[in-house]
Amino acid sequence: METAGQTHVRQHEFRDQLLEHGLLIPTGVPGVYGRSSGFEDTVELVDGMMASLGAPDAAEVMRFPPILNRTHFERSGYLKSFPHLTGTIHTFAGNEQAHRMVLKEAEAGGDWSASFPAAPVVLAPAACYPVYPALAGRLPAGGRLVDVMSYCFRHEPSDDPGRMLMFRMHEHVRLADPRTVIAWRTEWLFRAKSFTDALGLDARCEAASDPFFGRGGQLLAESQRDLRLKLEIVTAIASDERPTAIISLNYHQDHFGELFGIKTAEGSVAHTSCVGFGLERIALALYRQHGFDRAQWPAPVRKALGL
């Protein structure tokens, strides 16, 4: 087992290599990178493979911008569990005099937006969050299945390129009765396995937990792990010893159904589950495990991606 210090060195190294190879473009902010043409192409090919895996289900496509109604965010419970990851949006609402003060503060290097009031939106913490309020009410018989993809925000600045401030998540979201939802998630476990096999990634499935805030959070995390509500497919990105989640399969039970008033056709509270593919992380795992030159990747991997 390597120490946290060693992991840090390795994260730093892998990030520097990605920058040297021109795959990521520095922006001067830790965890925020531009994507080169090559890296972006890999992300799109990975996304295409994920889409193919889910194609038989004919999910209903919805696309949301990477922001979420602030009221829906409050109702979701995210602020209670993950305040440290939250990103809020603020806008200027003053007159010309207030504007002069803002510019003065900026000139002095201060927090010029300290007095900006909160906008009615926050940054989306996951692609699926806008789906639940949009589907409030009664589901059709058999429930619904939605395909969402968007940039997401998590405030965890790091030298680990696998922890970007904003990254893309492609998700399928199932809303139905518990039995249907659980069977659906199990199907995706098999698909995830065939996905990582096809990409030649050394991956495994783990019962996992979300990074709940504070001391009370530990109990929540233990309960989540015990009930196997969160399963993660993990693989080496910045470190071999501390692998990173690239796919997450979450069973929310009636959490969102209850909060947003989603009912099954039969009238009971709907259960929900989502499976999310972290597109940048999967691309990073490919570069980490197969090298920085895509032309040298194993033939079966290139074929699976359509390269």
**Which residues contact a second copy by CB under 8 A?**
25-29, 32, 34-37, 40, 60-72, 74, 79-80, 83-84, 86-92, 94, 96, 99, 102-103, 106, 111-114, 116-123, 130, 133-134, 151, 153, 155, 164-167, 213-215
Residues 206, 12, 244, CA angle at the centre, nearest 5°? 10
Q: Is the Cα torsion angle 139, 145, 150, 154 positive or negative in sign?
A: positive
Q: Minimum distance between the CB of residue 36 and a second copy, rounded to whole angstroms? A: 7
Q: Looking at beta carbons only, is 17 or 36 nearer to a second copy? A: 36
Please state the closest distance from residue 182 (CB atom) to a second copy, in A: 26
Do strands 166-176 and 271-278 pair parallel, antiparallel, or not at all (unpaired)?
antiparallel
Burial 56-86 (b: 16+ CB within 10 A, else e): eeebeebebebbbbeebbeebebbebbeebb
Q: Of the two residues 139 and 164, which places its CB atom closer to a second copy in the complex? A: 164
Residue 280 C-beta: closest distance to a second copy, Å: 9
- φ/ψ of 156, rounded to 5, equals -140, 70
46/168 Cα distance (integer angstroms): 12
Which residue's CB is nearer to a second copy, number 3 or number 37? 37
Q: Which residue number, 64 or 292, has a Cβ lying nearer to a second copy?
A: 64
Shortest spacing between CB 83 and a second copy, in angstroms: 4
- Give the nearest distance from C-beta 85 to a second copy in angstroms: 8
Whole-angstrom distance, CA of residue 83 vs CA of residue 267: 33
The least CB distance from residue 187 to a second copy, in Å, is 22
Question: Residue 33 or 251: which CB sits closer to a second copy?
Answer: 33
Transcribe 246-292 into DSSP letters: EEEEEEEETHHHHHHTEE-TTSSBPEEEEEEEEHHHHHHHHHHHH-S
Measured CA to CA in angstroms, residue 100 lies from 20, 106, 116, 178, 292 at distances of 42, 10, 14, 57, 49
Shortest separation between residue 26's beta carbon and a second copy, angstroms: 8
- Residue closer to a second copy by CB (options 3, 107) is 107
CB-based contact 177:144 (threshold 8 Å): no
46 versus 122: smaller Cβ distance to a second copy: 122
Task: Give CA–CA dist 115/248, Å, rounded.
Answer: 38
Instruction: Tell me how far apart the alpha carbons of residues 153 and 175 are, in angstroms, rounded to a whole number.
Output: 24
Q: In this structure, what token pair is assigned to residue 265?
A: 């056709």
Q: How far is the CB of 49 from a second copy (least distance, A)?
A: 18
Is 9 strand, coil or helix?
Answer: helix
The one-character DSSP state at 237 is S
The smaller minimum CB distance to a second copy, of residues 117 and 267, is found at 117
Biggest CA–CA distance in the chain, Å, is 64
